[in-house]
């Protein structure tokens, strides 16, 4: 066993526990809400192709990089401490850990708005739950959804929710409280246990709904939409968007993988695990597309509807589907599970850092971090109603029209995640002690060379370009 992983702190009880928790972190709203939305808006196949290339060439190597940094600096159990430790053992400045600090801050900020969006999901779990119960008690469990509402009333549900600050804050608070309860129970008793139940349940639901879509909806249409590339639709902005989405979806640049990596026992081989996380995450995004687009096409809806695809278009589709009430409920429960395992790791990263930094216990620290994220998220929620004309970054052209939530989403996704990834790729590719990471990676010499070249050259260049064009899109025009 590698001595560094023995340094104390908490550990996963098995490799499976780690893999499930890491996949739980990766699979989330990014796969089921953001990926189909982006693919729909950017013309389908061509975007999907670029996305897959980004994951294979940059995302997967970076997943290994982050887990490896976490375990090599293990015993620190937090992202900043881990990177500082690896830097020190490589005879380099501990200041490289500033990039891990960016990750911790990014995770905290993502958590704040993630919980708001997950709160919307939770709201749809309630309403589709009551709808299904109504259908069940009236003796028709396979009835379509929302039989007593008109189509306008169904699309109006989202607007009514957004216009109600109390309801939004309540949903946000409930979701954050559930996340907190799990993280406060520890790596072993909380995070691991949640992942072991929620992820299998998630996969069962995902497969069921995709099979349902394959038999009832316009599955062939969805397949050709997602997998036939139309290169005329491939703008530079879409490429940029694909790389950013790969980072977000794999939970890169946001402390999760470094922190989870620090809990990995020394005898677990990291490279196959990293490959598996990236493959499963991408597979789930594809399945989510294959689950959503058949329904969208068979109901004659617009695949490019944007963020309202899931909260407005799909409920309308469920309204005209047999068993729509049941399918709708299963669908929102599925998204809720995915969001919860992600928010857990969004809270864990900053909590682990704050525990190490301030020396307080897990429960108090998690509570303080969650309260902070709740307050910022609360501002995001109010940005849909009482503060709807607030544009926090109006001075910055690309964010000039962004409301509070979109501003935080934009700054984290377009600036902080790429910046952290850029720094850690440079560190690992050029500065970290070669022998140290070669042993830790467990890769064969040839694979090690390939991986290190991708991390040293391709990742910094490509990610540097995202940063540049993400922040100054006029350079592309
Ligand atoms: N990957 C998550 C998703 O697809 C979102 C996310 C980004 C995340 N960074 C993270 C989750 C860090 C956990 C930890 O929904």
Q: Whose CA is closest to atom 9 on ligand 1?
A: 251
In the chain, what percentage of residues exceed pLDDT 70? 97
Is 7 within a domain? no
pLDDT for 241 equals 83
Compute the average pLDDT of residues 193-217: 89
Could you tell which of 254, 280, 410 is best to mutate to test the pocket of ligand 1, judged by most ligand atoms within 8 Å of the CB?
A: 254
Atom of ligand 1 nearest to the CA of 33: 15
Work out the angle between the directed axes of helices 151-162 and 98-137 (0-180°, nearest 10): 140
Is 345 part of any domain? yes
**CA proximity to 462, closest of 153, 61, 147, 12:** 61
Positive or negative: CA dihedral 345, 349, 351, 356: positive
**Residue whose CA is at the smallest distance from ligand 1 atom 8:** 251
In a domain, 81, yes or no: yes
pLDDT in tens, 333-371: 999 999 999 999 999 999 999 999 999 999 999 999 999
**Rounded CA gap, 115 and 180, in Å?**
11
Residue 317 forms part of a structural domain: yes
Task: Tell me whether residue 2 is in a domain.
Answer: no
**Is 88 within the bounds of a domain?**
yes
pLDDT in tens, 286-343: 999 998 888 888 888 888 877 788 898 889 889 988 899 999 999 999 999 999 999 9
Q: How confident is the model at residue 477 (pLDDT cuts 50, 70, 90)?
A: low
The residue to mutate among 38, 110, 117, 338, having the most atoms of ligand 1 within 8 angstroms of its beta carbon, is 110
CATH number at residue 370: 1.20.1740
Of 2-16, 93-107, 394-408, 411-425, where does mean pLDDT reach its minimum?
A: 2-16
How far, in Å, CA of 130 to CA of 148, rounded? 12
Total number of domains constituting the chain = 1
Which ligand 1 atom sits closest to the C-alpha of 349? 14
Ligand 1 site residues (CB inside 6 A) read 25-26, 28-31, 107, 110, 248-249, 251, 254, 256, 342, 345-346
Is residue 133 one of the residues assigned to a domain?
Answer: yes
Q: How far apart are CA 276 and CA 354, in angstroms?
A: 30
Residue 84 lies in a domain: yes
Angle at 96 between CA 93 and CA 99, to 5 degrees: 165
Q: Is the pLDDT of residue 473 over 80?
A: no
Identify the domain containing residue 463 by its residue range: 15-476
Give distance in angstroms: CA of 220 to centre of ligand 1: 30
Q: For atom 15 of ligand 1, which residue has the closest CA?
A: 28
Reduced to 3 states, what is the DSSP secondary structure of residue 391? coil
What is the rounded distance in angstroms from the CA atom of residue 270 to the CA atom of residue 300? 45
Q: What is residue 416's DSSP assignment?
A: I
Query: Under a CB-based contact definition with an 8 Å cutoff, are residues 341 and 30 in contact?
Result: no
Question: Which residue, 180, 217, 210, is CA-closest to 348?
Answer: 180
């Amino acid at each position: 066993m590698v001595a560094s992983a023995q340094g104390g702190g908490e550990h996963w009880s098995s490799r499976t526990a780690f893999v499930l928790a890491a996949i739980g972190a990766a699979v989330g709203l990014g796969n089921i809400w953001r990926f189909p939305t982006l693919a729909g808006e950017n013309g389908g196949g061509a975007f999907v192709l670029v996305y897959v290339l980004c994951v294979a060439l940059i995302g997967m190597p970076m997943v290994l990089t982050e887990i490896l940094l976490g375990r090599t600096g293990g015993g620190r159990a937090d992202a900043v401490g881990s990177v500082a430790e690896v830097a020190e053992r490589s005879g380099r400045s501990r200041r490289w850990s500033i990039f891990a600090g960016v990750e911790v801050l990014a995770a905290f900020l993502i958590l704040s708005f993630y919980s708001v969006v997950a709160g919307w999901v939770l709201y749809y779990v309630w309403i589709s739950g009551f709808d299904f119960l109504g259908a069940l008690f009236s003796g028709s469990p396979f009835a379509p959804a929302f039989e007593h509402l008109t189509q306008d009333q169904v699309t109006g549900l989202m607007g009514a929710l957004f216009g109600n600050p109390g309801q939004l804050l309540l949903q946000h608070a409930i979701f954050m409280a559930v996340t907190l309860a799990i993280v406060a129970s520890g790596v072993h008793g909380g995070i691991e246990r949640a992942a072991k139940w929620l992820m299998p349940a998630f996969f069962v639901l995902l497969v069921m709904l995709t099979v349902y879509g394959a038999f009832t909806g316009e599955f062939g249409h969805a397949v050709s939409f997602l997998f036939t590339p139309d290169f005329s639709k491939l703008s530079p902005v879409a490429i940029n968007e694909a790389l950013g989405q790969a980072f977000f979806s794999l939970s890169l640049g946001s402390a999760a993988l470094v922190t989870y990596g620090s809990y990995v026992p020394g005898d677990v081989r990291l490279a196959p695990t990293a490959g598996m996380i990236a493959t499963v995450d991408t597979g789930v995004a594809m399945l989510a597309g294959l689950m959503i687009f058949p329904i969208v096409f068979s109901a004659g809806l617009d695949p490019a509807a944007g963020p309202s695809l899931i909260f407005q278009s799909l409920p309308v589709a469920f309204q005209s589907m047999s068993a729509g009430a049941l399918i709708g409920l299963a669908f929102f429960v599925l998204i809720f599970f995915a969001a919860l395992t992600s928010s857990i790791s969004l809270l864990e990263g900053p909590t682990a850092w704050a525990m190490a930094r301030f020396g307080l216990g897990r429960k108090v620290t998690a509570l303080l971090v969650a309260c902070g994220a709740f307050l910022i998220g609360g501002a995001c929620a109010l940005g849909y109603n009482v503060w709807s004309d607030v544009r926090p970054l109006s001075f910055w052209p690309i964010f000039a029209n962004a409301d509070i939530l979109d501003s935080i989403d934009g700054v984290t996704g377009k600036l902080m995640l790429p910046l952290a990834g850029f720094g850690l790729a440079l560190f690992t590719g050029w500065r970290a002690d070669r022998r140290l990471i070669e042993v830790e990676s467990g890769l064969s010499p040839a694979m090690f060379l390939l991986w290190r070249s991708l991390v040293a050259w391709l990742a910094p260049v490509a990610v540097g370009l995202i940063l540049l064009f993400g922040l100054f899109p006029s350079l592309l025009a």
